[in-house]
């Protein structure tokens, strides 16, 4: 799955920052791949990208129209079909991260076919996967794991990739969720793969590479989440990571979406992930902790990380407030 840049990001009539997470992610991490954003009357949010209509974006060279918003059911509402068709007519491919598939809407599918455009439903992997083998692969791999879902695994992975590249280290982000795939320009929506192929898909996503190259693999879910631990374990085995970074969000009282389910401790999360990872990489090791401290002041966030670092005797940072340099100190780069 290859997504052609540059992108025109479509916000629809969104009024909630959370609902444009995908658009915001690509604007934050790949502004250089974005021509601008477009929306319809009623939209009250912005990614900060330049606003323009579809014809103007086409003139400026936009190659892909990105549905950058989500609703709770992941539905593709009929009111967006004309905008998608306009983008197709203006020479763009279309990317959607919704559950509903673009290719299931016959008006969209037929127009795309007749114009020779790609429809990319990034939640619906089109590749054929093999089952995993656990065989040792060449190259280095770092995987972000978590105490819970939505704790900053994608942002941490992207911050690490960015830092390594700035240091001249050969590194690639390997995306496993819809936002990450859009930002990386490719990847596999691992939670949508048939269960048999979770680890195999990750093996294909991060194949043999140069021995000094680092693949930074975006994690999903948590080994301690009753809904998603299977995804997390298959991803962990397929990733075969040399280094693990445990991600955590401050001020969370229970597992996401499950008020009855308590959070694991960070120590337990370290142990559980190292134990499981060693099935396919006996040297797998947690090298540090990444904390999303956005729920508290910068001062309190940094203090929390420092205390945790002392307690665990390993680096602990909020990547957005403190950078990731110290997190990576133990890697022999």
CB of residue 194 to a second copy, shortest distance in Å: 5
User: Which one, 65 or 197, has the nearer CB to a second copy?
Assistant: 197
CB of residue 201 to a second copy, shortest distance in Å: 9
CB of residue 179 to a second copy, shortest distance in Å: 15
User: Which one, 179 or 193, has the nearer CB to a second copy?
Assistant: 193
Q: Residue 319: CB partners within 8 Å, gap ≥ 6?
A: 152, 155, 156, 159, 160, 290, 327
- Rounded Cα–Cα distance for residues 210 and 185 (Å): 21
Q: Residue 86: CB partners within 8 Å, gap ≥ 6?
A: 54
User: Which one, 60 or 194, has the nearer CB to a second copy?
Assistant: 194
CB of residue 11 to a second copy, shortest distance in Å: 26
CB of residue 260 to a second copy, shortest distance in Å: 6
CB of residue 290 to a second copy, shortest distance in Å: 23
- Rounded Cα–Cα distance for residues 175 and 321 (Å): 23
Q: Residue 288: CB partners within 8 Å, gap ≥ 6?
A: 245, 246, 314, 315, 316, 317, 326, 327, 328, 330
Site of interaction with a second copy (CB under 8 A): 131-135, 190-196, 198-200, 223-224, 226-235, 237-238, 257-258, 260-261, 276, 279-280
- Rounded Cα–Cα distance for residues 153 and 145 (Å): 7
- Rounded Cα–Cα distance for residues 245 and 145 (Å): 6
- Rounded Cα–Cα distance for residues 49 and 64 (Å): 15
CB of residue 238 to a second copy, shortest distance in Å: 8
User: Partners of 119 in the beta sheet?
Assistant: 94
Closest Cα to residue 146, out of 263, 279, 302? 263
* Start-to-end Cα distance in the chain: 30
User: Which one, 61 or 75, has the nearer CB to a second copy?
Assistant: 75
User: Which one, 279 or 296, has the nearer CB to a second copy?
Assistant: 279
User: Which one, 32 or 106, has the nearer CB to a second copy?
Assistant: 106
User: Which one, 195 or 332, has the nearer CB to a second copy?
Assistant: 195
Give the pair of three-digit tokens for residue 14.
Answer: 């969104």
């Amino acid at each position: 799955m290859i997504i052609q840049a540059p992108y025109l990001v479509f916000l629809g009539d969104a009024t909630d920052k959370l609902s444009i997470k995908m658009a915001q992610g690509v604007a934050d991490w790949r502004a250089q791949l974005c021509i601008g954003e477009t929306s319809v009357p009623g939209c009250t949010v912005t990614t900060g990208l330049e606003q323009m209509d579809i014809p103007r974006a086409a003139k400026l060279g936009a190659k892909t129209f990105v549905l950058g918003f989500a609703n709770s059911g992941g539905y593709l509402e009929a009111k967006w079909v004309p905008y998608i068709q306009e983008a197709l007519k203006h020479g763009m491919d279309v990317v959607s991260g919704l559950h509903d598939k673009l290719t299931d809407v016959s008006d969209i599918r037929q127009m795309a076919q007749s114009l020779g455009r790609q429809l990319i439903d990034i939640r619906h992997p089109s590749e054929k996967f093999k089952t995993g083998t656990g065989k040792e692969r060449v190259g280095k791999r770092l995987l972000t794991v978590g105490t819970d879902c939505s704790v900053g695994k994608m942002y941490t992975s992207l911050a690490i990739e960015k830092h390594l590249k700035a240091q001249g280290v050969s590194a690639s982000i390997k995306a496993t969720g819809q936002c990450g795939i859009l930002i990386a320009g490719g990847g596999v929506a691992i939670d949508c793969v048939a269960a048999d192929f979770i680890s195999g898909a990750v093996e294909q996503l991060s194949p043999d590479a140069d021995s000094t190259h680092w693949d930074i693999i975006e994690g999903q879910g948590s080994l301690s989440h009753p809904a998603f631990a299977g995804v997390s374990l298959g991803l962990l085995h397929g990733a075969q990571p040399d280094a693990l970074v445990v991600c955590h969000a401050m001020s969370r009282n229970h597992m996401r979406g499950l008020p009855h389910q308590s959070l694991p401790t960070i120590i337990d999360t370290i142990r559980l992930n190292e134990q499981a990872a060693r099935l396919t990489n006996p040297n797998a090791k947690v090298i540090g902790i990444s904390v999303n401290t956005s729920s508290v002041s910068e001062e309190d966030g940094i203090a929390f990380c420092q205390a945790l670092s002392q307690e665990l005797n390993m680096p602990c940072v909020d990547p957005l407030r403190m950078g990731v340099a110290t997190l990576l100190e133990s890697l022999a780069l």
